[in-house]
Structure 1
């Protein structure tokens, strides 16, 4: 069964197929965290069915988005979502990130909600599509940073959401991309973070800004005001 999901704070919709991984709050938080100037270029690494590509395109009035997605069915769904919204400035690239040959120093921004877990992590869902989306089976942190260091312009930015427990691995692989802005995401106040939002800048000076943590749920298990604002509620 298919339905259309509304993308918060836009007039865009996405097709959601039952039993297929769509998008969660992590992608919405990342699209809101990423700050981009108008009329720039963006690459969405691991685009899935297009939530970050579509939201970023709308929020920041981008001139061009390249959506890289290795899974054929997800790339097909992404193309359908572009057709639903009559968007022709997003180009879908159904290929392995490591096969691509973008020009060096070419892109203004990169955004990614990558697989959070190392290959072989203990995940109960054995569906291949889900595992590729959540384990580093087809793409890992080294691949992302190697590609980003090559194609981003000087002072270009990479926006990423990940798990806090992978921070050491992330910083170790970042190369010439300096972590400049970081925001932890907690399910509730006083609980340990469940996500970390990060902004990296190519060839930036040292210095790191810690933003106030974002709390998803209040004491009544309802979205906090900050999350409602992000969702346009």
Structure 2
């Protein structure tokens, strides 16, 4: 493992779960705590027989985490950026999971034929948070695509999710709390009924900046709002729940909550 070939600016990070590791490039987009929160949120409703799609997988972090948490039958991960696809494939190979996790190059707005409509038990996504015409766009193309709705927007993602999910299939997403009205209204518009919601707060005295949402394709109206999730205690340390989500009390790296 330590002799695995790495490219310039790359590092191999230990995910602290079942020995899984991931390749990341420090000059490009690296995953933050939001990916970990989403994987944990989605995993609670998955089992080892499920077939899952990750839309906009980036480094492939969410498929790796879901495999470590659940061991799903198959995880297909779609990504449009060639360099990220190549790096994610190497991470999958590094962990020997080529039979379980498939990284696919393609556009969310026009998914390739490997992704079959009305087939999947669950879809997860950690999409770009910022609308294309708002905020400062990062000059690095890969980071800009990860943070802003440049190549696809929220509605594109939700329409594709609805098309790929089997009836009653689950859709799970993390996003900015400020986009919550858009999220819920578009979910219902495309036919994914919001069923579960959890607001994420940096700490108890701050306002929510992230939201975890789950919906069912063709589900009946009934939304459960779960208890708040706090990232940090007042002393700056992770809360006990965050340590538990990481799955290892030794994990003390503080990932970036936001993408800006």
Structure 1: 4+ residue segments shifted above 3 A: none
The residue aligned with 1:195 is 210
Distance in 1 of aligned mates of 2:53 and 2:59: 14
Q: CA RMSD in A?
A: 1.2
Distance, in Å, in 2 between the alignment partners of 1:10 and 1:211 is: 28
Q: Is 1:93 the equivalent of 2:93?
A: no
Shift of 1:92: 1.2
- TM-score normalised by length of structure 1: 0.96
1:64 and 2:74 correspond: yes
Superposition pairs of residues 1-233 of structure 1, within 5 angstroms: 1-34=9-42, 35=44, 36-88=46-98, 89-100=100-111, 101=113, 102-123=115-136, 125-174=138-187, 175-231=190-246, 232-233=248-249
Count matched residues. Answer: 233
Superposed CA offset, 1:46-101 (max 9, x none): 00011001111221111111110000111010011011101112111111112224
Q: Any gaps of 5 or more consecutive residues in structure 1?
A: none
Determine the C-alpha separation between the residues in 1 that align with 2:12 and 2:83.
17
CA deviation vs aligned residue, 1:161-212 (integer Å, no higher than 9, x gap): 0001111111222121111111111001031101000111111111111111
The structural deviation recorded for 1:5 is 1.1
Q: TM-score, normalised by structure 2?
A: 0.86
Question: Is contact 1:186-1:195 (8 Å) kept?
Answer: yes
Residues 187, 217 of structure 1: 8 Å contact kept: yes
- How far apart, in 1, do the equivalents of 2:241 and 2:30 lie? 23
**Once structures 1 and 2 are overlaid, which stretch shifts more, 60-69 or 96-105?**
96-105
| Long gaps (5+) in structure 2 | 1-8, 250-260
Q: Distance in 2 between matches of 1:133 and 1:16?
A: 14
CA contact (8 A) 1:8 1:230 kept: no
